């Protein structure tokens, strides 16, 4: 089992002083909004060799260039909180990442999402990719043909190519 990446907004996970150490800020749950009781995540190798590919997939699927915050957690934690992870096709402009690296956490309940939120709190790694770094990654991916240009939002494509 490898690592799983979930897009978050880092400041939402900051713990206020009044909060008990074991608690999770309620605002963090907005980063775990499920659809059809499922959450989209990405599979990352333990050596992070495919991390940039995943970041390109996620970053290219947006409307605008922006920084990208993510949490990287061990897939091994899922059985303990009774969350199932299944392989499914992603819908980003990165065709290979869609087929190989996309996963869904399925059959979620409110309680399971709360357990997941607790598992995603530090010391789980929360990382920020700056807008400029992401722009470089996306520009390289466009140049080497990793991205299906027809799936990239036009305004984003223009920004990346100028």
Partner 1 sequence: MSEDFQSQTSQPKYIDPLEELRKSVAVMVFQVVSASSLGAQRGFLRETGESDTRTIELISDSSTKARQITPEIQARLDAMLHAACQQVIEDGKGNAITDQLAELFVKDYNAIVPVLITLIEHGRTLPVIKAEILKELGRIRDVSSHSSRRWILEHALSTSSPFVRDGAGLGLARLGDPAALKYLEKAVQDEPNVEIRSDLQSVVQELKQAVR
The stretch near partner 1 (CB under 8 A) out of 43-51, 90-98, 124-132, 138-146 is 124-132
By residue count, the chain amounts to 162
If the CB atoms of residues 64 and 150 are measured against partner 1, the closer one turns out to be 64
Q: Does 139 bind partner 1 (CB under 8 A)?
A: no
Q: Which is nearer to partner 1, 30 or 111 (CB)?
A: 30
Choices 3-11, 46-54, 75-83, 141-149 (CB under 8 A): range interacting with partner 1:
3-11
User: With binding defined as CB under 8 A, does residue 34 bind partner 1?
Assistant: no
How far does Cα 115 stand from its chain's mean position? Answer: 18
What is the strand order of the sheet 68-74 is part of? Answer: 84-87, 102-106, 39-44, 3-8, 68-74, 125-129
17's CB contacts (< 8 A; 6+ apart) are none
**CB of 159: closest distance to partner 1 in angstroms?**
11
Question: Can you tell me which of 130, 148, 149, 158 binds partner 1, judged by CB under 8 A?
Answer: 130
- For partner 1, the closer of residues 16 and 145 by Cβ is 16
Determine if 131 is a binding residue for partner 1 (CB under 8 A): yes
Using CB under 8 A, list all residues that contact partner 1. 7, 9-12, 14, 16-18, 30, 59, 62-69, 126, 128, 130-132
């Amino acid at each position: 089992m490898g690592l799983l990446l979930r897009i978050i907004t880092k400041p939402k996970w900051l713990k206020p002083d009044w909060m008990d150490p074991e608690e999770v800020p309620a605002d963090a749950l907005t980063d775990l909004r499920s659809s059809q009781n499922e959450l989209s995540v990405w599979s990352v190798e333990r050596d992070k060799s495919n991390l940039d590919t995943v970041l390109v997939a996620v970053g290219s699927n947006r409307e605008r260039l922006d920084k990208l915050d993510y949490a990287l957690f061990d897939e091994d934690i899922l059985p303990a909180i009774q969350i199932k992870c299944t392989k499914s096709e992603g819908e980003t402009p990165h065709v290979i990442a869609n087929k190989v690296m996309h996963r869904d956490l399925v059959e979620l309940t409110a309680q399971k999402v709360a357990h997941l939120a607790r598992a995603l709190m530090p010391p789980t790694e929360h990382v920020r990719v700056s807008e400029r770094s992401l722009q470089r990654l996306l520009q390289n991916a466009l140049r080497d043909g990793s991205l299906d240009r027809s799936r990239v939002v036009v305004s984003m494509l223009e920004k990346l190519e100028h």
